[in-house]
């Protein structure tokens, strides 16, 4: 090691090294997307990487479409008797002793859309994410606590994310294959007898206008 | 109509990307964050137009940060900054001799690791100042803190990096 190298590093040396580091740049595709955005007022929000962006409108509209499509082809919500299959319709075996899952039947497509799971996700192993709790409600394991669509305003208001779903949800009436209903959410949500009627505040508008 | 957006994007393209990447550690997600931010800006462009020119840049960086944090929360992405932010060590005009070159590559790797070890706020100011070219005033505006605080963080970050490298080489 030369004398030059053995001398102590100084801040200026660090800055000099930092300047020499070659930064990874964005792809040309991003340039195209931004140009299109500027050029078109009507801009379809989609992922540069090809993923799906979730917004409440898109989620609810697409979920409704997915559910309707399921009903039309005759397999909306399957009876609770089969193992989770990872196919379009999945159910959980209530009587299985080795199941860690709550006894909720669900439509995977709708579930994916509503909960932000990937459309490609397989659900053969739900207990990787979920554990069974005493009240039979599905509670997400710690690492998945934030797996829910929400902007910063949502997380400010719901600091625990979905750490404890029973704070907001009551267990589904399994026999009727119903989804869990929202409870105690009337601060933010307009809740009707069927569970959900909309938001009291337009969170997206609020988020956009207070962006930054 | 919204040409200011494109010109701002062109001018700060690399900086915005580096900043988003420093939060997310994933190039694709960083691009998504930028796209989401500009979509939001596009929707609220009337409000942004009222803004003074000097505040525009910090505002856009803040939008990108918010979108990146949103994505990070949604995906719980496990990031390691050094894996995404830099490509490879850049040879400069005063190309070092081969033995020095090897050492410099080592330093670059150590520097990557040292940047990962920085506190989030310190890493942020290093990225904003060094890679995005923001002034302390702009960085402070973006982070909603004073330029002095940003300068202090920056100095502290450099000292930490310096000490890390000192200990390694």
Domain boundaries along the sequence of chain B: 3-75, 100-165
Flag whether the pTM goes above 0.80. Answer: no
A–B CB contacts, 8 A cutoff, strictly below? 155
- Pairwise CB contact (< 8 Å): A211 & B44: yes
pLDDT at B41 over 50: yes
Top-confidence range, A63-72, A87-96, B87-96: B87-96
Collect all residues of chain B within an 8 Å Cβ-Cβ radius of residue A21: 86, 89-90, 108, 111-112
Residue predicted with more confidence, A149 or A186: A186
Residue predicted with more confidence, B66 or A124: B66
- Pairwise CB contact (< 8 Å): B39 & A208: no
Interface probe, candidates B13, B22, B39, chain A, greatest A C-beta count within 10 A: B39
Query: What is the DSSP track for A23-50?
Result: EP---HHHHHHHHHHHH-SS-----TTS
Average pLDDT, chain A: 46
pLDDT at A98: 40
Two tokens, residue A44: 């379809």
Distance from CA of A75 to the nearest CA of B (A): 30
**Which chain B residue lies closest to A116 (C-alpha atoms)?**
B74
Residue predicted with more confidence, B64 or A194: B64
**Which chain B residue lies closest to A153 (C-alpha atoms)?**
B70
Of the pLDDT bands very low, low, confident and very high (cuts 50, 70, 90), residue A8 is low
Contacts with A, B 112-131, CB within 8 Å: 112, 126, 130-131
Of the pLDDT bands very low, low, confident and very high (cuts 50, 70, 90), residue B89 is low
Beta strands in A5-151 (DSSP E): 21-23, 89-90, 106-107, 130-132, 138-140
pLDDT at B76: 63
Buried b (16+ CB within 10 A) or exposed e, A10-40: eeebbbebbeebebbebeeebeebbeebbee
Q: If you compute the radius of gyration of chain B from its CA atoms, what whole number of angstroms results?
A: 17
**Which chain A residue lies closest to B86 (C-alpha atoms)?**
A23
Two tokens, residue B32: 């998504």
- As its CATH architecture, domain B100-165 has Orthogonal Bundle (1.10)
What ipTM does the predicted assembly reach?
0.78
User: Which of A22, A49, A212 is the closest to B88 by Cβ?
Assistant: A22
pLDDT at B79 over 70: no
């Amino acid at each position: 090691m030369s004398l030059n190298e053995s001398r102590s590093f100084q801040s200026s040396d660090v800055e000099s090294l930092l300047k020499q580091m070659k930064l990874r740049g964005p792809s040309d595709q991003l340039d195209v997307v931004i140009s299109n955005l500027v050029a078109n007022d009507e801009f379809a929000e989609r992922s540069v990487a090809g993923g799906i962006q979730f917004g409440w409108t898109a989620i609810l509209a697409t979920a409704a479409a997915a559910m309707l499509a399921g009903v039309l082809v005759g397999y909306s919500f399957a009876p609770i008797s089969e193992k989770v299959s990872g196919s379009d319709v999945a159910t959980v075996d209530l009587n299985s002793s080795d199941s860690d899952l709550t006894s909720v039947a669900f439509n995977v497509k709708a579930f994916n859309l509503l909960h932000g799971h990937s459309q490609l996700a397989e659900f053969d192993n739900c207990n990787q994410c979920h554990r069974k709790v005493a009240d039979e409600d599905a509670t997400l394991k710690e690492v998945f606590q934030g797996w829910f669509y929400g902007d910063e305003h949502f997380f400010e208001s719901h600091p625990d994310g979905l750490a404890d779903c029973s704070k907001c949800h009551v267990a589904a009436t399994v026999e009727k294959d119903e989804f869990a209903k929202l409870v105690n959410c009337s601060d933010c949500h307009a809740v009707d007898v069927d569970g959900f009627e909309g938001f009291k505040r337009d969170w997206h508008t609020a988020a956009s206008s207070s962006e930054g | 109509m919204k040409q200011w957006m494109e010109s701002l994007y062109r001018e700060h393209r690399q900086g915005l990307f580096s900043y988003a990447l420093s939060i997310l550690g994933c190039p694709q997600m960083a691009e998504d964050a930028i796209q989401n931010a500009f979509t939001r800006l596009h929707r609220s462009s009337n409000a942004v137009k009222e803004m003074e020119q000097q505040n525009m840049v910090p505002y856009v960086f803040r939008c990108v940060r918010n979108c990146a944090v949103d994505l990070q929360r949604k995906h719980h992405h496990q990031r390691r900054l050094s894996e995404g932010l830099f490509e490879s060590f850049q040879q400069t005009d005063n190309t070092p001799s081969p033995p020095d070159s090897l050492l410099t590559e080592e330093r670059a790797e150590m520097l990557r690791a040292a940047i990962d070890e920085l506190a989030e706020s310190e890493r942020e100011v290093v990225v904003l100042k060094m890679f995005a070219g923001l002034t302390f005033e702009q960085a402070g505006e973006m982070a909603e803190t004073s330029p002095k605080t940003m300068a202090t963080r920056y100095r502290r970050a450099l000292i930490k990096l310096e000490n890390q490298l000192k200990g390694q080489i």
